Structure 1
């Protein structure tokens, strides 16, 4: 009694400690994961319970999310929970495939992804991941996991009817389990070898491995003893040793604790007794199978009873059993139809969702494409207008320079004419010199006329290019003021404006904007020169930062100055000064 009670209490105490630890470390899931991993081998059901008890697992990210997904998949596999999707283990695989974590963890993620794929019936894909995991476990000399991966590969080969290859796989894992002295895995590997021989009809070798596995399972009191007894019954029945088969099936029936599995043993006994010609026992065990909760087990039981009663000419009972089997089949057909309709509806909804997502993706692609095209067009026109404006400014500068040079030439020619006129008044000069002077004056007048015509032509071209300057006696003053304004705009002006420069600017703005300065003074005679400067610069489109740089002050001071200017101009605080001056 003590030998059984102590391990039970120890296990209970260990579970209690783990539960408390997981709750205490709820803010440190990595610590809880390490403790859960410690009990995964010996207490897989406890590990699964603790993993499902961890709160807010949906908030886990990165390594914690991958560790949780791997541990939960491992616990579900250890507890024989059926996998319906590979999405959980895919989280771990995607994280560890990019060389994160240690080699053992990466290999384990590969292994369990292969296990899940095999459960989902994707054998070829599973074989790829299991083979990769086996190689990785071999490189790091992780013998237990290496043997487990080899077992899985053997089962896939057996399913593909590659019996010799599967036999070699199971023998390889069997050897490793012997070296590790892992009795539970040794029983499983021995049973797999027996099955491989069974499929090849090699009865003696099959019987040898089954008997060894059965002896070890009985010694260690493993639950796999029942399945080995059942398979030994199948083996003996195939060999024609019906009495020995009966002993194994009855032993399996007696030791089976799962009620539903007992009905499977009943069906096997029923088949055996039919072969033995024992109608009463066959009927007895088939009738026991009728109590199964599995519909297909009940159908098989009713059908076997139908054939049994029919063979002994008990047609009334046979018809009853046949009708009962048909009624269950009809119910299943209706359920299958409903499930099919539900599945089709689900497929339709999924397809509709995929189409909607695809349409959204197409719309987004079209939007991005159109946006890109529009951006490129706008960028092209901006570049075009920038270079065009740059060329215009260059041409305007060249024309201004040419006009200035022409005016200087005109002034020089006029000065020469004045000097000649003075010489003309001197009587002492000879007639020949006077004649030459008259010819020279005529030549100078001709040059002045030509330069004046050229300046007129350049003025028209300057106007076409966006310039508003009128060439005349004061054109140099306006050109100088325009250059000064450009220097202010480009930030190349150094120091404050002089009174002369202010006068030039005010004259230029009067010329450009229909007596702009004059109209401002008519509206508000008390405006200072500084106020007029601000008005002109705002009209020209300068920002607060540019004004602060010109006046060598801060942006806040400029803002305050604009506020005072609003008051002098009679503008409400809510109105925009820039808009007012632009429209003035």
Structure 2
């Protein structure tokens, strides 16, 4: 009851899915069907039948539906009557890189052709699937594929390739741990050895099949193993396996098969009564092959007992059955040969059309090649002509471009200098604002001193009044105190006067520095005008590729005096006009070491390399850079601020 309830629940679930399939995602439904395929193929087929709107499916979804539907039919043992569905899947997956799907499509295409009794087509599809999937990790499908190929080769009596594929199928089933399929593969190998009259090998593989088989298939293995022992003369073992098979019979046909094997063994061992008993039971069999064999063995039994009339009677019954079997075999052979002929004819026709298409393609390629060569020749002629014209135009415009380039460089240089002047003016305004603030603070201090002076005068008058009342000693003491206060007042006035003079001198120094900067800028403009025909950018590129720069950047151990002089001349005269001259003019207190640090920073030499060239360490260079920024701008800043200041200077 529990199993019935479970199946009813699954059926209701599938019906719900089928009812919602018009609104649900088709990809999800196909994925669900593929999940049910191995364990519940009937449920998978029900899900796939629920897809009605085929016109709304994409090419990939339609191909997958056709593949899964064919697979579900094969799993449910529904005989295929047409290859139209699977051909859609084959045609789609044949043009993709989905190797697993391609292998499945070819395999089930072979299964369809096998049901249609088209062995050559089925074999071709199986071989294509084998070539695609032999490097894939799909042991179950590869095992079934090799088993089917072995069966087809067995039908064609090509026993060696049949053995090879059946053994390979057994290896795949062993890896997949599929004991049922493994026992069937061993049984098929044993049957092939029987066809080749190699009973010993057949016996070995029947024993292997028996070790893996289940109770459902054990009957057939026992019966065939008994027949194999009977063929090689080991009748006792044959009888023991036949009796084991007799205990597993379920139908009349099964009993007839075992009885035929027992009758054959008893006849070979001379136990005629037992043979007659079992062979007489075989007359109930509906199988034409079993009946024919039974009549033949009964005839042989009567012949050995000298009952010639009964022998003739059984022979007369045996001959029509034998003729029917031979006629059926001939018909199967004719059908197989006709299929093979049709297959070869189709392949020959395909090859003819393939060759014709190849010849047509070659002719078209020749025509296209001639046309392309003609077009290339015309194109080369026009390109050559236009190239000549462009060369003339280039020669005419080259001088204008050079002049325009020089003009743009001069404008860029002037703009850079104007920006520098603007920054200096901003600094001057800041300094002037600071000076005004200082003057204002000094005025406030002077006013406070004046007020204190008045207070002191008032107090002095009071002291004079008191002095008249006191004795001479007290008067002298007060006079001394007054002189000390007057002296302190005079010192304060002197200090304020010095501060005013210092601020005035700073203002004059800033104005002088600004005037000097403007003069230096004008001088730089004049020098730039004189050097307008020199490509500064090109000079910088040449310098960065020169041995001097390479020596600075990596090779030199120390910056010698003569090397420093060459470097300074090159910076001032070519790279950055009057760079060191402007620094010395604006900041007269700058030392040689500080000037060298500024130049090397302007050339973008790393800090560690500067320390090596100047025989010091990186920390000292960093301290110098911070002090230089404070000296140049009057503000505190980092080493990177100095780099930005020098790059813009």
TM-score category, normalised to shorter length: 0.3 to 0.5
Q: Which has the larger radius of gyration?
A: 2
Q: TM-score w.r.t. structure 1 length?
A: 0.47
Normalising by structure 2, we get a TM-score of 0.43
